[in-house]
Amino acid sequence: MQERSTRPHSLKDTVTHYCPGCGHGIAHRLLAESIDELGIAERTIGIAPVGCAVWAYYYLDFDMVEVAHGRAPAVATGLKRARPDTVVFSYQGDGDLASIGTAEIIHAANRGERITVIFVNNGVYGMTSGQMAPTTLVGQKTSTTPLGRDPQVAGYPMHVCELLSQLRGCVYAARAALSSPANIRTAKKYILRALGTQLDELGFSIVELLSPCPTYWRMEPAQAMEHINEHVVAEFPLGEIKTPDSGEAEGIGAGAGAEATLCVRS
């Protein structure tokens, strides 16, 4: 008999709590599919964020840990060092990772922790009702920038992958968008490569996912997808920013001498 559902094994059969058109559900599915395909579900430990994805463990059928806002890279460090045989990922929003957790993410990347970070950039603090995040676009209206983000007051959108790619311990950094079937397929390819970087024990890996938040962008779901393709990618170019082409990085325990490759995007 034909399977009724193509739901990945590692994605639980749960009614969603996300808003219509939210990107978190897509990101969850890609992660579950990738981990299933790599056959590593039994040794994966995920870290749920504080944010709209706080209940990621209701959806993802791996061992999951919930940690304080912004602290996921620090907890991931402890888990991975205590259990190097596991595959550890953190799942973090832009408020979580790029605001309160800035120090944690930079130092984890700089130390070359062998963890994988899934960074969901939806340009706002979704869970707390749409305040400005470090990644909010210039001119974007949010509940704390009702006239639009003014860089003279609130600075410019933070390019996390480009920042982290300057650090030698960061060996894989890529940005994809959850905004079209083709972009979503590319996102999965990057997630697989990031997890592969960890399985090869090369160092720190991060995949940034440009993700729609129709509710706090005050848009219809389809319009939010178009908004990503037209405006968000203009600020945050898609592609692999850094890859471990040379095969060896300078993370903990890695051999010295080789360096990862900074990519030039077209």
Ligand X SMILES: Cc1ncc(C[n+]2csc(CCOP(=O)(O)OP(=O)(O)O)c2C)c(N)n1
Q: Which residues bind ligand X (CB under 6 A)?
A: 49-53, 68-69, 93-96, 100, 120, 122, 124-128, 133
> According to the binding rule CB under 5 A, does residue 101 interact with Mg ion?
no
Minimal distance, residue 211 CB to ligand X, in Å: 8
By the rule CB under 5 A, 93 interacts with Mg ion: yes
Please state the closest distance from residue 94 (CB atom) to ligand X, in A. 4
Smallest gap from Cβ 115 to Mg ion, in A, equals 20
For residues 80 and 130, give the distance between their C-alpha atoms in angstroms, rounded to a whole number: 33
Give the span between the Cα atoms of 70 and 236, in whole angstroms.
22
Q: Which amino acid is at 237?
A: P
- Nearest-angstrom CA–CA distance, 129 and 117: 24
State which of residues 10, 44, 77, 122 lies at the interface with Mg ion (CB under 5 A).
Answer: 122
DSSP 8-state assignment for residue 147: T
Q: Which two tokens stand for residue 80?
A: 């991975």
- Binding region for Mg ion (CB under 5 A) out of 121-129, 143-151, 171-179, 180-188: 121-129
- What is the rounded distance in angstroms from the CA atom of residue 27 to the CA atom of residue 188? 9
Interstrand relation of 116-121 and 204-210 (parallel, antiparallel or unpaired): parallel
Closer of 52 and 195 to ligand X (Cβ): 52
Backbone angles phi, psi at 262, to 5 degrees: -80, 130
User: Residues 109, 110, 112, CA angle at the centre, nearest 5°?
Assistant: 65
Which CB sits closer to ligand X, 131 or 261?
Answer: 131
Say how many C-beta atoms besides its own lie within 10 A of residue 216's C-beta: 22
User: Residue 52 binds which entry of Mg ion, ligand X, none, with Cβ cut-offs from 5 to 8 Å by kind?
Assistant: ligand X
Of 68 and 103, CB closest to ligand X: 68
Query: Which does residue 96 touch among Mg ion, ligand X, none (CB within 5 to 8 A, set by kind)?
Result: ligand X
User: Restricting to residues 189-218, which ones interact with Mg ion according to CB under 5 A?
Assistant: none
Contacted by 91, from Mg ion, ligand X, none: CB < 5 to 8 Å by type: none
Residue 67 tokens, joined = 């940690």
For ligand X, give the closer residue by CB, 8 or 95.
95
- The DSSP bridge pattern shows strands 131-132 and 124-125 to be antiparallel
Which residues make up the interface to Mg ion (CB under 5 A)? 93-94, 122, 126
